[in-house]
Amino acid sequence: MSSSSNIRFVFSDARVWRYVLRTLADYLEVVGMKLSPTQGVRIRAMDPSRVMLIDFSIPLTAFEEYVVEKEETLFLNLENVSKILRRASKSDKLAISSDGSRLSLSLISKGGTERTFILPLISSTYEEVPELSLEFKVVAKILGPALSLALSILEDVGDVAKFRVLKDGLSLMASTELGEVEFLFNTATGTLIDYQIAEDVNEFTNMYSMEYVSTLTQLSKLAETATIRLAPEIPCEIDLDLIGGASLKVFIAPRVE
């Protein structure tokens, strides 16, 4: 007799899961998904080189349906789950359920048709990823699609993303031998929704590996807003306020030249 209980939850936009899990699948084979009867769903994972930490959470209130009776961790084989979610179209909902012996993923179309894929439950050990406590000096809030557009162009230009903090805004840059591409965001032009910079901060530039920054290109397209938090020479935090009430925090350690 399995000690696991019946689990089922439905989220309004399968693409959010598709892009988050696809990103993780580039770095990891298996991820633990923590389920709480009161808090909702949370996935926290770090890539093997410990450069990027991803924290994906969906509160209880964001689910259309949510049956979780006790704290549990379900392990997902990211390659298998990503293959299934590749089939998700724009209007598909995602239902995830488990009876304790297997895992079912259902894509539910607008008309209510369910396509269900069944996977064996896998067992693994859950590695707690530490909570980071970082002291940021700069907070820049931008529309998700605007960040997505900038990143989609910058990732074609260079291997390094430069985040340059100015007194009146934030510049994102990438360069090649041929030259430099720069996107300048500030509140005066309306490209930044909000910008806060600590009084004791002078202008500075942090560099991040484009490989990690570009994981946000697709995801930020699905975000209403993106909040970038920075301070000199520490990891940046980029918070995406995703459609459907989900949120994604990504921490990326700076490159040391």
Average pLDDT, the chain: 93
> What is the rounded distance in angstroms from the CA atom of residue 40 to the CA atom of residue 35?
6
> What is the mean predicted confidence (pLDDT) over 28-36?
95
User: What confidence tens digit (pLDDT) does each residue in 143-193 have?
Assistant: 999 999 999 999 999 999 999 999 999 999 999 887 899 999 999 988 999
> Taking 80 as the threshold, does the pLDDT of residue 251 lie above it?
yes
Instruction: Provide the pLDDT confidence category of residue 41 given band limits of 50, 70 and 90.
Output: very high
What are the chain's domains? 7-120 (3.10.150.10), 138-252 (3.70.10.10)
Cα-based distances in Å from 239 to 143, 195, 214: 11, 14, 14
Instruction: Provide the pLDDT confidence category of residue 2 given band limits of 50, 70 and 90.
Output: very low
Q: Is the pTM of this model over 0.75?
A: yes
Identify the H or E element spanning 10: strand 7-11
Q: Do 225 and 143 contact (CB within 8 A), yes or no? A: yes
Q: Would you state the pLDDT for residue 128?
A: 81
Phi, psi of 160 (to 5 degrees): -125, 130
User: What confidence tens digit (pLDDT) does each residue in 70-121 have?
Assistant: 999 999 999 999 999 999 988 999 999 999 889 999 999 999 899 999 999 8
Residue 236 structure tokens: 């940046």
Q: Would you state the pLDDT for residue 1?
A: 30
Ranking 4-8, 43-47, 62-66, 114-118 by mean pLDDT, the lowest is 4-8
Q: If we measure between CA atoms, which residue out of 93, 24, 107, 25 comes closest to residue 62?
A: 93
User: What confidence tens digit (pLDDT) does each residue in 188-216 have?
Assistant: 988 999 999 999 999 999 999 999 999 99
Q: If we measure between CA atoms, which residue out of 120, 102, 96, 126 comes closest to residue 4?
A: 102
Q: Do 160 and 257 contact (CB within 8 A), yes or no? A: no
Instruction: Provide the pLDDT confidence category of residue 127 given band limits of 50, 70 and 90.
Output: confident
Residue 56: beta bridge partners? 43, 248
> What is the rounded distance in angstroms from the CA atom of residue 219 to the CA atom of residue 236?
17
Q: If we measure between CA atoms, which residue out of 225, 219, 235 comes closest to residue 163?
A: 235
User: What confidence tens digit (pLDDT) does each residue in 215-228 have?
Assistant: 999 999 999 999 99
Residue 72: beta bridge partners? 35
| SS3 category, 202 | coil
> What is the rounded distance in angstroms from the CA atom of residue 151 to the CA atom of residue 165?
17
Q: Do 185 and 168 contact (CB within 8 A), yes or no? A: no
